[in-house]
Each structure stands twice: as structure tokens, then as C-alpha cells.
Structure 1
């Protein structure tokens, strides 16, 4: 790694979460100048209302049921999450002293100003709102995104789950890609593939994915800082996915053992 990359400012924009902190901490272990722009989570109600316009309220109510199960799964699956963290030596809590800028939204003026003031060499998005065209245009450096799915085949939500449901376990993995104004539609920079562990479910897949992908994220950040942006065409179809409905999730779990 050249000296410029070693000393460059890096910004991570996120809503946070254990699997995201595992990636942020890996980046902070490698680079000295990392700032987290931590946005307030988007209102689930606002998100679901927008989704209902596209999918209908029946599907959305079914997705709400699954989201509640996922939340319960994280609570009752805490011991399993600790096992994954121990297996991969993950740090899933934000480290003390980490430089954090709190903003209401990744698209808020406060976020735009913070990025301008920090003058980063790269901005990494990891679990945050989709940036607007105006926000993207205001950022004078490469913007990349960590996505918990293999793009473009598993854009959107729950990429690992849908790969397993579709008998496509070879695409259990993650993507780091350039960011454009679409939803996970930017040019792919890196795919990382792995497999679920025993006892993994839709609640723990993101942590497993972060575990197998954190080093790839660090490597892509290093390359971008060094001026080596190397997109490739994965030759995959493009589709966007959402949360499964509760009835689909339960039926698939009982019938096929995919939880």
C-alpha cells in the first residue's frame, strides 16, 4: 500500500449494527484515518408505505411478520452470533474512541457537509439509505457500497437467504460495488462467496457474510485509495429482492429447512 493510501481519510456511512461494525473495525485496523457517519435509521413505516405502492399491502404485511421474526431471531440467537464472532475473531461492537459524526440521514445537509470537510479518498456505504443523485454529485471521490448479496442477481434485501431458496448456494456471498443512483446497480468490484454455517438462519446470515467478506472490503478500499478501480462484468441476471412474506418464510423453513 502506498503512503497516500495509508494516510488518506476514509468515510463509512451506515446505520450501524453488529455485522457492519465487524467490517468497520477491520477497516480501522488497517487504516488510521476512518470516520463513521452514523445516520438515524429510516422509519420502518415510511419504508413500508413506499414498498406497498409497488408490491401491495398484503405482501408488505407478510414482510412485516418476517421482519418481526428476524428481530426475535437476533434476540434469541445471541449465543449463535457470539459463536460466529468467536470463530472469525470478529469485533462486533464499535471500538472506543472511533470518530463518529451523527446525522439524521445520509442525504442530509449535515452528512454532505461532513464529507466535504473530511475530504475522504473513498466513501464506503454499508447498510444505509440509497443516496440521491444530488448527494452523489456532491461527493468528489469514489463511492463504493458493501452489499450482503451477490450482485446483480441478488440486489436488495436478504441476498444470502434468496440464494439458498433458489437452490443457488454457490451465490451465497457479498458484493462490493461502485455506487450509482440505482439500488445495488453499480459496477461490481468484488464478489466474495462462502457458505452458511450450521444453525445459521436469516437472522445470522448477515454476520456470517460480514465474516467472510471483511478482508475483501479492506482490500477494495486499499485499491480504490491507490487509484485501482477495477470493475468487472459478472455475467449474471439482475433482480431485486425484498423480505420474504411470513407465510413463505415459514412454509419454506418447514418444507426445505431453509430458515
Structure 2
């Protein structure tokens, strides 16, 4: 089974750790590394501002500032330790062809994928894939979505499940990409015993991946063998969720602290 990984340049957990993991049970044929431009990041900010309005956008910015000041140091320390664990488990990042791009849908990325001829693509990126790219791998493009779909779509599903106190849906979804936003076939849900008082939602999102790598490898093998069938998600609530809000973070932490009191 040939695979290609798509990830962001700044994410060593994916670029090194998950690349080595993929190479442990597939033939990793290449890595697409996304290095976004400032213009792309500004465009994402403008989209969020239009989506939520000025007042709520201040709430989003406050969460970003708090995360950078109060949480980012611990998150980086955890990620460094996690990457060291992955290196011990799977070895260093494999020496395979790579391509750098700002846009995952760039024509050169499409050419790279067609030349690599992957059976599956694992997309660990914030950008949406267009139909031409989705159609390249024989088995499809897959994402390890943070949160349980379809209830928690978009990139911050774990945060919103925690904020909603929907603790049974704090986890990860193995999702096959289609033309929508996290609306494709679901091939599995994965969880672990998270500690919401001592683990940030960022750590939870990464750790749920790390704790389930063995099960995910087995599932991909079943997909390749044709024995895995998507789960039935019809008649379930479906919602997209945006960036985390500081006010909801404070409410989540207060509720979590109250639950911890004997």
C-alpha cells in the first residue's frame, strides 16, 4: 500500500513522527509540505471575522492570546516529548521525495501526487482539498479529524465537545475526504482517557492520535483489503464549529473543576 502524507511545515509531530509511522506499515511514496503565506493567514482571519462578527472575533483573539501566554509552553513541551517517543517507536523521518507548496491545490502538488501513485493520502492540513486532488489516490484521501463527526465538524472539535460538556464525543474521527467540510464517510472513532484539567485541547487533539496509531494502522489495512465499511451517520446532528472562544474556555474550565471536586 503506497501512501503520501500532506502536512504543515511547522508541525514536526506530523512531518516527522507521522511520516515515520506511515512508513512503518505502508510504502511512503512522498510528503507534501505546506508553508502558508502571510496573505493566506490574513485571508483566514478575514473569513473568521466575517463569520462571527467583531464582538465574537475579540473573544477568539483573547483565546489566542491566552493560549500563547499561558498554554503554549506546556503544549510545546508535550509535543517535544511525544515526538521523541515516536522517534523511538518508529525511527527517524524517512528519506522520501518531498514537495513544498503554499496551497495544497497547487498544480505542482497534483502532479507530484500523480507521479507518486498513492493508494491513500493522509491529509494533516487546514486547507480543503479540491476534487481533482481527492480523486488521485485509489483508496481516497483521509483525515484524522479532531472531534467526533458529524456533530463536531471543522478543526477544533475537541475544544467544542469539551466546552459543550459533551465528553463522550471528545475524540477523533477517521474520515474519508469528500467535497464538503468534514462530511465524508466515517471509518472509525477513537478516544483515550483524557485529563481535561491538566491537558489542553491542543494536547488532547494530538494525544488521541498518538494513543491510537496501532488501531489506525489496522483500520487502514482493512480499508485497503476492502473489509472496512463506513459507519452509518444518518439522522445524527451535524454542525460546523469555528475557532475557540475565551469565554467558552473559561466556562469549560470552571465546569471541569467543579466535576473534579469530590
TM-score, with structure 2 as normaliser: 0.82
Structure 1: tracts of 5 or more residues without a match? 1-7
- Residue 46 (structure 2) aligns with: 49
* Structure 1 segment 214-253 matched on structure 2, within 5 A: 214-234=213-233, 236-253=236-253
Structure 2 residue aligned with 1:156? 154
User: For the Cα contact (< 8 Å) 2:13–2:79, is it kept in 1?
Assistant: no
Which runs of no fewer than 5 residues in structure 2 stay unpaired?
A: none
The CA RMSD over aligned residues, in Å, is 2.8
Higher alpha-carbon deviation: 175-184 or 239-248: 239-248
* TM-superposed deviation, 1:251: 4.4
Q: Is the 8 A contact 1:23 1:214 kept in 2?
A: no
Cα gap change, 1:38 to 1:207, in 2 (>3 Å) = same
Q: Does 1:69 align with 2:66?
A: yes
Q: How many residues align?
A: 249
- Give the alignment's TM-score, normalised by structure 1: 0.83
Q: CA separation in 1, counterparts of 2:216 and 2:68?
A: 26
Distance 1:176 1:129 in 2: 17
Residue equivalent to 2:76? 78
Q: Deviation at 1:19? A: 4.0
Compared CA separation, residues 76 and 142, structure 1 to 2 (3 A): closer
Shift of 1:129: 0.7
Aligned with 1:9 (options 2, 10, 25): 2
Aligned pairs (5 A) from 1:119-134:
119-134=117-132
1:166 matched residue in structure 2: 164
Pick closer, same or farther for the CA change 1:94–1:46 going to 2, 3 Å: farther
Match of 1:182 among 177, 180, 183: 180
Mark the CA change 1:256 to 1:173 in structure 2 (over 3 Å): closer, same or farther: closer
